[in-house]
């Protein structure tokens, strides 16, 4: 790594100025050498058709800045990752293989990128999304009982009793289905009309109507 300039407080002003100038020249020369080395590595990376990305060792802020500049001039893409400044590193990518947002998030979390697992995760996410859309289009699900209530309570009333009760019902257009035995008036219409006429004549004559069988 490039060194930080040392303090010159123990020297006289002329000596401090000369020493400071010398240190600045050394630092400048080290930056030039570092840039040349990065240019060489980036050039080798571009010429290697088998490489689509390259991870560098952790660098300080000045070195990362130089590397980012070299990468930009070369027409590549670069990103820095790592939480602590001393541990941050640079990754470079060829333009045609620029990382996706998922890949960048993986590096930011300090994880290795696995394209196969990422593809499986993407497919599962798409499947879940399609299922949610289909469920929304179908509307609420109507749950039907697994069995008929007559089957559920057949052990209490018996299947035969349930059938017999159904056979005893006859259609009544006015009042629905009622058992024949429960009908209160079993007389014919003619018999009923005769009784009504007899009661009318009785009221008119004042006589008592004998009971009809």
Q: What is the mean pLDDT of residues 63-84?
A: 94
Average of per-residue pLDDT values in the chain: 79
Write out pLDDT tens, residues 10-52. 667 888 888 888 899 999 999 999 999 999 999 999 999 999 9
Q: What is the mean pLDDT of residues 79-85?
A: 89
Q: Which residues contact 102 (CB under 8 A, 6 or more apart)?
A: 118, 122
pLDDT for the residue numbered 115: 78
The answer to whether residue 56 is domain-embedded is yes
The answer to whether residue 89 is domain-embedded is yes
Tell me which of 156 and 169 has the higher pLDDT.
156
The answer to whether residue 116 is domain-embedded is no
- pLDDT over 60 at 134, yes or no: yes
- pLDDT over 60 at 165, yes or no: no
Tell me which of 199 and 93 has the higher pLDDT.
93
Cα(75)–Cα(94) distance, integer angstroms: 8
- Split into its structural domains, the chain has a count of 1
- pLDDT over 90 at 92, yes or no: yes
Q: Of 172, 196, 197, 194, which Cα lies nearest the Cα of 183?
A: 172
The answer to whether residue 78 is domain-embedded is yes
Q: What is the CATH number of the domain that holds 52?
A: 3.30.1370.50
Predicted confidence band at 210 (pLDDT cuts at 50, 70, 90)?
A: low
The answer to whether residue 172 is domain-embedded is no
Q: What is the mean pLDDT of residues 97-107?
A: 90
Joined tokens for residue 9: 């407080």
Q: Of 24, 59, 29, which Cα lies nearest the Cα of 41?
A: 59
Joined tokens for residue 122: 């993407």
Contact 212, 195 (CB under 8 A): yes
Residue span of the structural domain in which 69 resides: 13-98
pLDDT for the residue numbered 171: 47
Tell me which of 183 and 108 has the higher pLDDT.
108
The answer to whether residue 184 is domain-embedded is no
The answer to whether residue 93 is domain-embedded is yes
The answer to whether residue 157 is domain-embedded is no
Single pTM value for the model: 0.50
User: Which one of 44-48, 199-203, 205-209 scores highest in mean pLDDT?
Assistant: 44-48
Predicted confidence band at 59 (pLDDT cuts at 50, 70, 90)?
A: very high
Tell me which of 7 and 76 has the higher pLDDT.
76
């Amino acid at each position: 790594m490039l060194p930080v300039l040392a303090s010159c407080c123990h020297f006289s002003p002329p000596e401090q100025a000369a020493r400071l100038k010398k240190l600045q020249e050394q630092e400048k020369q080290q930056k030039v050498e570092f840039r040349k080395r990065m240019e060489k590595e980036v050039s080798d990376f571009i010429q290697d058709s088998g490489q689509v990305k390259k991870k560098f060792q952790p660098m300080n802020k000045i070195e990362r800045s130089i590397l980012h500049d070299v990468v930009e001039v070369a027409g590549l893409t670069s990103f820095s990752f790592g939480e602590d400044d001393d541990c941050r590193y640079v990754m470079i990518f060829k333009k045609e293989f620029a990382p996706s947002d998922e890949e960048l998030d993986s590096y930011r979390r300090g994880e290795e990128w696995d394209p196969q697992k990422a593809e499986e995760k993407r497919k599962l996410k798409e499947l879940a999304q399609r299922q949610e859309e289909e469920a929304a289009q179908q509307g609420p699900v109507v749950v039907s009982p697994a069995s008929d209530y007559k089957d559920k309570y057949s052990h209490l009333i018996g299947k035969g009793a349930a059938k017999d009760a159904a056979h005893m019902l006859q259609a009544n257009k006015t009042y629905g289905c009622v058992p024949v035995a429960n009908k209160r008036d079993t007389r014919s219409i003619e018999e009923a009309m005769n009784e009504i006429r007899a009661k009318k004549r009785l009221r008119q004559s004042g006589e008592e109507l004998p009971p009809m069988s």
